[in-house]
Amino acid sequence: MKRDLGDGYELDDDPARIDRDAVYAFTGGTAYWAVGRSRERQDELIDASARVVGLYRDGRQVGFARAVDCDAAGFLYLADVYVLEECRGRGFGVELVREIVDNGPFAARRWMLHTRDMHRLYERFGFAPNVRAMERGAPSY
Protein backbone atom coordinates (compact mmCIF):
# COMPACT_ATOMS: atom_id res chain seq x y z
CA MET A 1 0.00 0.00 0.00
CA LYS A 2 1.19 3.47 -0.83
CA ARG A 3 -1.20 6.39 -0.31
CA ASP A 4 -0.62 10.00 -1.36
CA LEU A 5 -1.82 12.53 1.23
CA GLY A 6 -0.91 15.62 -0.79
CA ASP A 7 1.70 18.33 -0.29
CA GLY A 8 4.54 15.79 -0.52
CA TYR A 9 3.17 13.53 2.25
CA GLU A 10 2.47 9.85 1.79
CA LEU A 11 1.81 6.71 3.79
CA ASP A 12 3.57 3.47 2.93
CA ASP A 13 3.54 0.04 4.58
CA ASP A 14 6.70 -1.26 2.91
CA PRO A 15 8.90 -2.49 5.80
CA ALA A 16 12.03 -2.07 3.67
CA ARG A 17 11.35 1.65 3.38
CA ILE A 18 11.33 2.32 7.14
CA ASP A 19 14.17 4.65 8.08
CA ARG A 20 15.23 2.86 11.25
CA ASP A 21 17.60 5.67 12.22
CA ALA A 22 14.71 8.15 12.09
CA VAL A 23 12.38 5.87 14.06
CA TYR A 24 15.02 5.30 16.71
CA ALA A 25 15.85 9.03 16.86
CA PHE A 26 12.24 9.68 17.86
CA THR A 27 11.53 6.66 20.03
CA GLY A 28 14.92 6.67 21.72
CA GLY A 29 15.19 10.43 22.10
CA THR A 30 11.69 11.90 22.37
CA ALA A 31 9.03 9.28 23.12
CA TYR A 32 8.09 8.95 26.79
CA TRP A 33 7.05 5.34 26.23
CA ALA A 34 10.44 4.18 24.93
CA VAL A 35 12.84 5.72 27.45
CA GLY A 36 15.83 3.42 27.73
CA ARG A 37 14.98 1.35 24.65
CA SER A 38 18.14 0.49 22.74
CA ARG A 39 18.52 0.75 18.98
CA GLU A 40 18.98 -3.02 18.83
CA ARG A 41 15.70 -3.55 20.68
CA GLN A 42 13.90 -1.04 18.45
CA ASP A 43 15.06 -2.96 15.38
CA GLU A 44 13.90 -6.25 16.92
CA LEU A 45 10.48 -4.73 17.58
CA ILE A 46 10.16 -3.50 14.01
CA ASP A 47 11.21 -6.91 12.66
CA ALA A 48 8.69 -8.71 14.88
CA SER A 49 5.79 -6.43 13.90
CA ALA A 50 2.92 -7.79 11.85
CA ARG A 51 2.68 -4.48 9.98
CA VAL A 52 4.49 -1.18 9.93
CA VAL A 53 3.30 2.05 8.34
CA GLY A 54 5.52 5.02 7.70
CA LEU A 55 4.54 8.63 7.11
CA TYR A 56 6.90 10.39 4.70
CA ARG A 57 7.29 13.93 3.45
CA ASP A 58 9.26 14.23 0.24
CA GLY A 59 10.81 10.84 1.01
CA ARG A 60 11.85 11.68 4.59
CA GLN A 61 10.32 9.66 7.42
CA VAL A 62 8.20 11.95 9.61
CA GLY A 63 5.88 9.45 11.30
CA PHE A 64 5.50 5.79 12.13
CA ALA A 65 3.21 3.15 13.61
CA ARG A 66 3.48 -0.59 14.08
CA ALA A 67 1.11 -3.43 14.85
CA VAL A 68 2.03 -6.42 16.99
CA ASP A 69 -0.05 -9.53 16.39
CA CYS A 70 -0.84 -11.12 19.75
CA ASP A 71 -2.71 -13.93 18.04
CA ALA A 72 -2.55 -16.29 21.00
CA ALA A 73 -4.43 -13.65 23.00
CA GLY A 74 -6.69 -12.74 20.08
CA PHE A 75 -5.77 -9.08 19.60
CA LEU A 76 -3.32 -6.68 18.00
CA TYR A 77 -1.29 -4.13 19.88
CA LEU A 78 -0.79 -0.68 18.37
CA ALA A 79 2.65 0.66 19.21
CA ASP A 80 5.20 3.40 18.59
CA VAL A 81 2.76 5.78 16.89
CA TYR A 82 4.23 9.21 16.26
CA VAL A 83 4.27 12.19 13.92
CA LEU A 84 7.14 14.65 14.20
CA GLU A 85 6.15 17.89 15.89
CA GLU A 86 6.77 19.99 12.77
CA CYS A 87 4.17 17.91 10.88
CA ARG A 88 1.47 17.78 13.56
CA GLY A 89 -1.87 19.55 13.46
CA ARG A 90 -2.69 18.52 9.87
CA GLY A 91 -4.50 15.25 10.49
CA PHE A 92 -1.56 12.99 9.69
CA GLY A 93 -1.84 11.15 13.01
CA VAL A 94 -5.44 10.35 12.15
CA GLU A 95 -4.43 9.07 8.71
CA LEU A 96 -1.58 7.01 10.17
CA VAL A 97 -3.86 5.32 12.71
CA ARG A 98 -6.65 4.90 10.15
CA GLU A 99 -4.27 3.15 7.77
CA ILE A 100 -2.80 0.72 10.27
CA VAL A 101 -6.01 -0.05 12.20
CA ASP A 102 -8.94 0.38 9.79
CA ASN A 103 -7.46 -0.09 6.33
CA GLY A 104 -5.06 -2.94 6.92
CA PRO A 105 -5.46 -6.69 6.99
CA PHE A 106 -6.32 -6.64 10.71
CA ALA A 107 -9.30 -4.25 10.56
CA ALA A 108 -11.74 -6.86 11.86
CA ARG A 109 -9.58 -7.81 14.86
CA ARG A 110 -9.58 -6.49 18.42
CA TRP A 111 -6.92 -3.85 19.16
CA MET A 112 -5.20 -2.58 22.31
CA LEU A 113 -2.77 0.25 23.04
CA HIS A 114 -1.28 2.34 25.82
CA THR A 115 -1.25 6.14 25.81
CA ARG A 116 -1.10 8.87 28.39
CA ASP A 117 -1.88 11.85 26.19
CA MET A 118 -3.59 10.98 22.89
CA HIS A 119 -6.92 9.57 24.04
CA ARG A 120 -8.95 11.85 21.74
CA LEU A 121 -7.13 10.54 18.66
CA TYR A 122 -7.66 6.88 19.48
CA GLU A 123 -11.27 7.35 20.58
CA ARG A 124 -12.03 8.32 16.96
CA PHE A 125 -11.21 4.71 16.05
CA GLY A 126 -13.27 3.06 18.76
CA PHE A 127 -10.60 2.71 21.45
CA ALA A 128 -11.95 3.12 24.97
CA PRO A 129 -10.71 2.47 28.52
CA ASN A 130 -10.87 -1.15 29.59
CA VAL A 131 -11.38 -1.67 33.31
CA ARG A 132 -10.52 -5.38 33.01
CA ALA A 133 -6.94 -4.85 31.83
CA MET A 134 -4.03 -5.02 34.24
CA GLU A 135 -0.39 -4.34 33.51
CA ARG A 136 2.93 -5.30 34.99
CA GLY A 137 5.67 -2.95 33.83
CA ALA A 138 9.11 -4.18 32.93
CA PRO A 139 11.99 -2.86 35.06
CA SER A 140 13.98 -1.93 31.91
CA TYR A 141 14.50 -2.79 28.27
For residue 140, name the pLDDT band (cuts at 50, 70, 90): low
Could you please state the CATH topology (level 3) that the domain comprising 2-123 is classified under: Aminopeptidase (3.40.630)
Task: Determine what percent of the chain is predicted with pLDDT higher than 90.
Answer: 84
Whether residue 137 is predicted with pLDDT greater than 80 in this model: the reply is no
**Domain-by-domain residue ranges, the chain?**
2-123
Q: How far apart are CA 107 and CA 12, in angstroms?
A: 17
Q: How far apart are CA 134 and CA 49, in angstroms?
A: 23
Average pLDDT value for residue range 49-57: 98
User: What confidence tens digit (pLDDT) does each residue in 15-51 have?
Assistant: 999 999 999 999 988 899 998 899 999 999 999 999 9
Strands in 110-112's sheet, in edge-to-edge order, are 2-6, 9-12, 51-57, 60-70, 75-83, 110-112
For residue 58, name the pLDDT band (cuts at 50, 70, 90): very high
User: What confidence tens digit (pLDDT) does each residue in 60-80 have?
Assistant: 999 999 999 998 778 999 999
Please tell me the pTM assigned to this model.
Answer: 0.91
